[in-house]
A = this chain, B = another copy of it.
């Protein structure tokens, strides 16, 4: 079950300049940044609010690390803007299988690793009224019990 807007993925040419725009204009700060070589992106996560399911909503700013990555090709065609939206779920495996069973194309056979150790998959935008849609299960929070 999808229980939050996890993030909005925004493609940009220059991650540092875009991070600085969001900081200077709105006061949003970088919560996390990483390079995902498999996805071919450098990214910054800006945490905007916490959510009623115990998670949070972020802006995910994405700069391609190579022109032939999915985001690189998308940017060359569309220019900067919203690349995808992502819903959070406690069980991306079950939800993606259920959605696949409804005839929506799920782009990965098995979920892959996304931001901050999450597990993610994507739904084909042509099956989602033009919206590239990601499903995300956050990495488990490390227990503080001893």
Question: Does A1 count as interface, using CB distance less than 8 angstroms?
Answer: yes
What's the nearest-Cβ distance from chain B to residue A28, in Å? 8
Count of chain copies:
2
Q: Label chain A's interface by main secondary structure.
A: mixed
Cβ-defined contact, A25 with B57, below 8 A: no
A45 to chain B, nearest CB (A): 13
Residues of chain B contacted by A130 (CB below 8 angstroms): 10, 12, 79-81
Spot the interface stretch: A34-42, A47-55, A112-120, A137-145: A47-55
User: Which residues of chain B have C-beta atoms less than 8 A from A76's C-beta?
Assistant: none
Q: Are A129 and B10 in contact (CB under 8 A)?
A: yes
* Cα(A18)–Cα(B133), bound, Å: 14
Q: Which single residue of chain B is at the shortest CB-CB distance from A52?
A: B50
A85 contacts the other chain (CB 8 A): yes
Q: Does A104 reach chain B (CB closer than 8 Å)? A: yes
Q: A25-B99, A82-B85 are in contact. Are A4 and B131 (CB under 8 A)?
A: no
Find chain B residues with CB under 8 A from A51 CB.
49-52, 57
Tell me whether A131 and B25 are in contact (CB under 8 A). no
Query: Quick check: is A2 within 8 A (CB to CB) of the other chain?
Result: yes
Tell me if A128 is interfacial: C-beta within 8 Å of chain B: yes
